[in-house]
């Protein structure tokens, strides 16, 4: 067998092992190590296993991940984000589908401190779905709103997916954050419009609330959330203005979140321990998968597989739009079976050489990739956000009802993908001006 044949064969083995539910980090490391051993001998394989983990983990930008994770877990365990939904509810409930819109707005606020889709869905599922069910919302529609709202956490800074993508694609994390901010704002507005239109044309889905809220109640709700909002705004203005590195920004945000928890009487040693422990677990998991992806990149490069696939695409003269359509289909299929981070790290070693050869804008692609991974959080049979919301709300709604209701949001997200591709300035203007 040629080196390219070995590379492609072992790449197929990776897919088979993943379909057999092998852990993705172990799969990538094991197959890449075996491939290097077959191609170059055991000394090269062991040398790569000794060198690559350090090369990947020693990245300074990578150190921002545990800081932002800690920020999110502190806010989650110390209940600092619950006021976001209440404030949004008091200000927006008069709109058609007002509670659903409030869930989207609250999730956008939570996304700005967590960077995690699952954390967003779990938090808003506990807070927003019971409120919507009490207001006689359709159960499937209510749960679908929260499942979709959770995906905003993968796009709005501090997106962990964008940080990892920036490191692997060697792109500025700050510019990716700015592009994600623009795309996230577009997504939020689009979700608002969809919920409003569906509630207006089918009031049974989301009955209007018959309640009067005083101005003093609205202002009191805002006062409850302002310390956290000011912290988040200050942290990200610091990043975009060049005052903080992403790592310093995450650490600063985590410190101020901890101080807010102390001042609000939510701090306990046990809650802090849980936040730190979950940060360590999540960081370790991401590092193992990232190391596996780096080893796979080295193996594909040495085998010539990456160059072969890139040359194959270039020689076929595929139109960039047709290539992107193929990439969309690949991610939609993989998103049905793989979790987002693993899906991204499995495919980037193959796709990045192709995209670089075509001269693609890797900032734009990073945002489109993040959006595609969001859609994968909603599509059956895996649809992680759907199952997170289902686990939170229990038997009050069936899983099938959520998947049916979430189809509207998946179609909307596909429309947003097309918009970003054909009007790239929506995503790229902020990074070009401020990045």
Asked if residue 153 is part of any domain, the answer here is yes
Interhelix angle for 173-201 vs 399-422, to 10°?
120
| Judgement on whether residues 160 and 28 belong to the same structural domain of the protein | no
Asked if residue 325 is part of any domain, the answer here is yes
Give 291's contacts (C-beta < 8 A, 6+ positions apart).
25, 29, 52, 53, 56, 57
Task: Specify the pLDDT at position 424.
Answer: 92
pLDDT digits (tens, 9 = 90+) for 164-178: 898 888 888 889 989
More confident residue, 160 or 371: 371
| Judgement on whether residues 54 and 163 belong to the same structural domain of the protein | no
Measure the CA–CA gap between 301 and 429, rounded to whole angstroms.
Answer: 33
pLDDT digits (tens, 9 = 90+) for 305-325: 777 777 776 666 677 888 888
| Judgement on whether residues 102 and 43 belong to the same structural domain of the protein | no
Asked if residue 226 is part of any domain, the answer here is yes
| Judgement on whether residues 132 and 85 belong to the same structural domain of the protein | yes
Of 344, 363, 422, 433, nearest in space to 179 by CA: 363
Measure the CA–CA gap between 330 and 181, rounded to whole angstroms.
Answer: 25
Rg (C-alpha) for the chain, rounded Å, is 22
pLDDT digits (tens, 9 = 90+) for 83-95: 777 777 777 777 7
Boundary (domain end) residue, out of 303, 323, 349: 303
Question: Are the C-beta atoms of residues 109 and 153 closer than 8 Å to each other?
Answer: no
Distances (CA, A) of 138 to 40, 65, 387, 404: 60, 37, 18, 12
Q: What are phi and psi of 215, to 5 degrees?
A: -60, -35
Distances (CA, A) of 242 to 61, 69, 234, 237, 239: 14, 21, 12, 8, 5
| Judgement on whether residues 85 and 18 belong to the same structural domain of the protein | no
Asked if residue 109 is part of any domain, the answer here is yes
Task: Specify the pLDDT at position 211.
Answer: 65
Euclidean distance between the first and final Cα of the chain, in Å? Answer: 47
Q: How confident is the model at residue 67 (pLDDT cuts 50, 70, 90)?
A: confident
Scan for tokens 């239109």, then name that residue: 197
Distances (CA, A) of 300 to 6, 56, 334, 356, 391: 10, 17, 20, 16, 39
Asked if residue 345 is part of any domain, the answer here is yes
Task: Specify the pLDDT at position 295.
Answer: 86
Answer whether residue 240 shows pLDDT above 80: no
What mean pLDDT is reported for the chain?
83
| Judgement on whether residues 43 and 96 belong to the same structural domain of the protein | no
Q: How many of the other CB atoms lie within 10 Å of CB of 39?
A: 17
Measure the CA–CA gap between 65 and 114, rounded to whole angstroms.
Answer: 11
Boundary (domain end) residue, out of 255, 282, 303: 303
The least confident of 202-206, 239-243, 261-265 is 239-243
Measure the CA–CA gap between 192 and 412, rounded to whole angstroms.
Answer: 11
Q: How many of the other CB atoms lie within 10 Å of CB of 352?
A: 20
Distances (CA, A) of 312 to 128, 178, 265, 353: 49, 33, 61, 12
Asked if residue 283 is part of any domain, the answer here is no
Task: Specify the pLDDT at position 287.
Answer: 84
Question: What are the DSSP calls for 221-267, one per residue?
Answer: HHHHHHHHHHHHHHHHHHHHTTSS-HHHHHHHHHHHHHHHHHHTT--
Boundary (domain end) residue, out of 303, 330, 355: 303
Task: Specify the pLDDT at position 366.
Answer: 93
| Judgement on whether residues 24 and 166 belong to the same structural domain of the protein | no
Q: How many of the other CB atoms lie within 10 Å of CB of 188?
A: 20
Distances (CA, A) of 267 to 70, 75, 230, 255, 273: 14, 10, 20, 13, 11
| Judgement on whether residues 252 and 126 belong to the same structural domain of the protein | yes
Task: Specify the pLDDT at position 163.
Answer: 86
Kindly state the helix (H) or strand (E) to which residue 46 belongs, with its residue range.
helix 42-57
Answer whether residue 409 shows pLDDT above 90: yes
- For the chain, the domain total comes to 2
Question: Are the C-beta atoms of residues 27 and 15 closer than 8 Å to each other?
Answer: no
Measure the CA–CA gap between 157 and 232, rounded to whole angstroms.
Answer: 10
| Judgement on whether residues 388 and 246 belong to the same structural domain of the protein | yes
Question: Are the C-beta atoms of residues 91 and 224 closer than 8 Å to each other?
Answer: no
Answer whether residue 336 shows pLDDT above 80: no
Measure the CA–CA gap between 67 and 249, rounded to whole angstroms.
Answer: 8
| Judgement on whether residues 96 and 243 belong to the same structural domain of the protein | yes
Asked if residue 277 is part of any domain, the answer here is no
Measure the CA–CA gap between 131 and 142, rounded to whole angstroms.
Answer: 9
Task: Specify the pLDDT at position 420.
Answer: 94
Alpha carbons within 13 angstroms on the beta-carbon side of residue 383 total 23
Question: Are the C-beta atoms of residues 406 and 148 closer than 8 Å to each other?
Answer: yes
Give 213: exposed, middle or buried? Use CB within 10 Å, 0-12, 13-18, 19+.
middle
Residue span of the structural domain in which 195 resides:
61-267+306-434
Question: Are the C-beta atoms of residues 161 and 370 closer than 8 Å to each other?
Answer: yes
Answer whether residue 435 shows pLDDT above 60: no
| Judgement on whether residues 209 and 235 belong to the same structural domain of the protein | yes
pLDDT digits (tens, 9 = 90+) for 210-236: 666 667 777 777 777 777 777 777 777
| Judgement on whether residues 41 and 177 belong to the same structural domain of the protein | no
């Amino acid at each position: 067998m040629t080196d390219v044949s070995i590379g492609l064969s072992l790449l197929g083995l990776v897919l088979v092992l993943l379909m057999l539910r092998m852990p993705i980090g172990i799969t990538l490391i094991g197959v890449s190590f075996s491939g290097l051993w077959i191609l170059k001998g055991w000394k090269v394989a062991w040398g790569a296993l000794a060198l690559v983990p350090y090369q990947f983990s020693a990245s300074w930008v990578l150190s921002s991940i545990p800081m932002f994770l800690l920020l999110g877990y502190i806010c989650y365990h110390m209940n600092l984000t619950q006021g976001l939904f209440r404030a949004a509810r008091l200000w927006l409930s008069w709109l058609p589908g007002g509670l659903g819109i409030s869930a989207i707005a609250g999730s956008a606020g939570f996304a700005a401190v967590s960077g995690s889709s699952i954390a967003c869905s779990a938090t808003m599922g506990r807070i927003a779905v019971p409120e919507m069910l009490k207001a006689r919302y359709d159960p499937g529609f209510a749960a679908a709103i929260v499942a979709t709202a959770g995906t905003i956490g993968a796009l709005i800074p501090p997106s962990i997916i964008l940080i990892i993508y920036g490191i692997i694609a060697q792109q500025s994390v700050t510019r990716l954050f700015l592009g994600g901010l623009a795309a996230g704002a577009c997504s939020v507005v689009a979700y608002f419009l969809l919920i409003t239109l569906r509630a207006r044309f089918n009031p049974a889905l989301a009955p209007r609330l018959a309640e009067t809220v005083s101005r003093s109640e609205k202002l009191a709700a805002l006062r409850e959330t302002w310390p956290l909002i000011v912290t988040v705004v200050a942290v990200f203005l610091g990043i975009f203005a060049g005052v903080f590195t992403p790592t310093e920004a995450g650490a600063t945000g985590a410190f101020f979140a901890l101080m807010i928890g102390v001042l609000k009487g939510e701090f306990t040693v046990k809650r802090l321990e849980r936040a730190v422990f979950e940060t360590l677990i999540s960081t370790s998991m991401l590092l193992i998968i990232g190391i596996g992806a780096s080893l796979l990149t080295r193996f594909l490069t040495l085998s010539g597989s990456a160059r072969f696939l890139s040359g194959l695409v270039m020689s076929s003269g595929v139109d960039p739009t047709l290539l992107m359509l193929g990439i969309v289909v690949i991610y939609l299929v993989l998103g049905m079976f793989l979790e987002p981070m693993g899906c991204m790290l499995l495919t980037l070693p193959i796709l990045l050489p192709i995209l670089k050869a075509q001269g693609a804008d890797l900032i734009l692609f990073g945002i489109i990739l993040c959006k595609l991974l969001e859609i994968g959080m909603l599509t059956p049979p895996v649809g992680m956000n759907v199952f997170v919301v289902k686990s939170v709300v229990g038997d009050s709604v069936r899983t099938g009802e959520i998947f049916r209701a979430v189809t509207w949001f998946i179609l909307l997200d596909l429309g947003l993908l097309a918009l970003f591709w054909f009007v790239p300035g929506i995503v790229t203007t902020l990074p070009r001006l401020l990045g």
